[in-house]
Structure 1
């Protein structure tokens, strides 16, 4: 009984006895069977985390925020990757929910009917993250990507740019990039400015892709004086292209990305961007799950909308 209390971290056991039990457990290589312990509660101490990509530098920071919170609890995150494919999201959810996790954190608000049905029927706290532009199944933590696009449009127009281009991932699968683009175009339209050029790509976001598409747009339309990219990595590739070809930034061509990737802090020229509050989103989502589990709640209905700010850097005229 004493061993059981120590390994389950339950009950009143002296620190000296606890230390002896844990040391003996370590020497024996003993790992408790949590599945057996979960049979009575119908839940395991796992939190499913479903994200679209691990190669995208955004999501490791979200995972760090989740881990920092959950490591203080008995809950353990387990990750599934969808590669932005609805059918893969359904498969990942089916597998994860079959383990009866204590909660679920999932990127985005757009899901197939089958995925939504599984999440609703799970009877556990669900937190959708990254995006607040839409209706949540239960709780939601993120930013308004439409608002992010609107704020960037205002900054671009205020700086005096008139011939705007956009480079981003193919839509509609990247819903958050689509919403930023919609916010951008709607706000520019109110100021009498239309998007002069746009390029959409599929696959990973990298420096080479940014260079390639920036060259394509500027050779096709030399009058373009500002390029807004759907993320920082392709924007950094565009910045490299401009520097290598003697294009003055931001006086001749202004540039801006999105996400506030720390990796780019080492660049001598600071890229204009907007921090997507990635670490805080992960942490706040994990706090909601941990709190719901401690209180024995199956849903919380919380809405947390964070407010990212533009960092103009050196590539957006002040």
Structure 2
């Protein structure tokens, strides 16, 4: 089979569409003929050598895909050959075929084509596990997501809006802010022109928001804490702005009973991923099936052009997800 490979970390030019050994499903796994794979910032980090592959995982890029089941491993029940699925992966999505634990499969709703379905697993599992479970966002509460034009952001806005929350988001261009409003954001903030913490204070009459999903890291730590309501929860899932030189204001946390969590999805044990996928299937997939939450796909590219997809993502051009098809 063919897959995107690279011999050493580097820029986009290191990526190559190459022949690799075929994969076979192990016990408890299924083999998927890949129809499409989503592109994520984690893929760019791995290509640069800054995101180590977990032990035993494929070193091929790609943390989510969609496709058709072509083989079942020993002990797999509840799934059939030929079935259309989406999958949360630990790696291997940038390929013609990938083996994945059956517990990390999601059925493709009838209203979705396979290419669009590839844009959902990573975002849906990340958003629900962190804001639905860790932060416990409830209908009627308020929620801020940074990077409203990203794959995570476009999904988070729709999910929180469908849940019944008031959604705030930041983005860096008028086009991304307009898209966020169309997806359900009540308040959109251009972080290049406004102090988002001050804007949130004004929009909430000083109360703040109940939950924040952050991809920036250290530079946003203080303004994020200033933006939280009493008993609010900040969940940090990325550090695009850096990891260091940030101080945690314990005084503010104590006075306002604030919570701060930092999580990643890829390195979690398979048992935890299975629980997350089950929860997403039960709580998010009905919103996808009835159209309240839709995949936002910016561009579909041939997988052999993975390098260009990485360039586009790095330049911040996309609104929603970039998707590759073999």
Q: Same fold (TM over 0.5)?
A: no
Query: What TM-score results when the alignment is normalised by the length of structure 2?
Result: 0.37
Tell me which protein shows more strand as a share of its residues. 2
Bigger CA radius of gyration? 1
